[in-house]
């Protein structure tokens, strides 16, 4: 890795941790440069602005994730003869893509950071980020939503909208707080659940919640 690439990587590492801990608005460029041990000129050189740095943090996570997810979904559809995938299969592919993509790094905390960042993206008013995510990753998002719609034809569009966002909230909370929850489970149940075990517990829970034959 060149010195410039190493500097950009250090800035991204520092930014993603601080954004996940404090939020976008509350994190200053000075706090990022201090943590990354670089000067402000390095941030301006590599990213141009704080807005573009926020986008770069998401791009580093989401570009490889979405590329792998698209491939895995396409493979599953081919194996299934192009027929509608069961809802639990769709969620299993999402989970496995996270486990073998985001989590498969030298930093075991990456998945937790990724999910906390997603949660912050939902709750903080960052119009530029939503536009960026829509422009870059809308195809993958729409494919997943289409597969969910196909496997839940009995659920009204309004009901499904809320169920999908309840599911996102559950996943963000669980995986964004995974180390705390694992420690609590170990203390309360004397069972050390691995990240993979928790993820595979979450999949059927979310699938059944979306697929339930009830409209409120």
Q: Is 178's pLDDT higher than 80?
A: yes
pLDDT digits (tens, 9 = 90+) for 59-85: 999 999 999 999 999 999 999 998 999
pTM of the shown model: 0.86
Instruction: List the CATH number of the domain containing 181.
Output: 1.10.357.10
Q: Is 161's pLDDT higher than 60?
A: yes
Question: CA-CA distance, 24 to 129, in Å (whole number)?
Answer: 11
- In this structure, the answer to whether residues 205 and 186 fall within a common structural domain is yes
C-alpha R_g of the chain: 19
Question: CA-CA distance, 16 to 23, in Å (whole number)?
Answer: 10
- In this structure, the answer to whether residues 91 and 192 fall within a common structural domain is yes
Q: Is 17's pLDDT higher than 90?
A: yes
Q: What local confidence, expressed as pLDDT, does residue 211 receive? A: 86
Q: Is 201's pLDDT higher than 60?
A: yes
- In this structure, the answer to whether residues 10 and 90 fall within a common structural domain is no
pLDDT digits (tens, 9 = 90+) for 87-128: 999 999 999 998 886 655 545 588 899 999 999 888 876 678
- Give CB contacts under 8 A, 24+ apart, made by 5-10: 7/36, 7/38, 7/42, 7/46, 8/46, 8/47, 10/36, 10/37, 10/38
Name the domain count of the chain.
2
For residue 117, the enclosing domain spans 51-211
């Amino acid at each position: 890795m060149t010195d410039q690439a190493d500097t950009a990587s250090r800035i991204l590492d520092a930014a993603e941790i601080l954004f996940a801990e404090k939020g976008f608005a509350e994190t200053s460029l000075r706090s990022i440069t201090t943590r990354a041990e670089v000067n402000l000129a390095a941030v301006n050189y590599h990213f141009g602005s704080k807005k573009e740095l926020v986008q770069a943090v998401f791009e580093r996570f989401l570009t490889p994730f979405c590329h792998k997810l698209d491939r895995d979904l396409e493979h599953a559809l081919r194996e299934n003869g192009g027929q509608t995938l069961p809802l639990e299969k769709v969620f299993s592919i999402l989970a496995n893509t996270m486990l073998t993509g985001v989590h498969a790094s030298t930093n075991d905390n990456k998945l937790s950071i990724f999910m906390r960042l997603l949660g912050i993206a939902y709750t903080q008013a960052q119009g530029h980020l939503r536009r960026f995510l829509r422009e870059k990753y809308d195809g993958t998002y729409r494919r997943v939503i289409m597969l969910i719609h196909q496997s839940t034809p009995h659920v009204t569009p309004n009901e499904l909208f809320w169920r999908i966002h309840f599911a996102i909230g559950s996943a963000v909370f669980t995986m964004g707080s995974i180390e705390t929850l694992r420690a609590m489970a170990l203390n309360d149940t004397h069972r050390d659940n691995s990240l993979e075990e928790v993820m595979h517990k979450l999949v059927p829970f979310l699938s059944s919640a979306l697929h339930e034959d009830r409209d409120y």
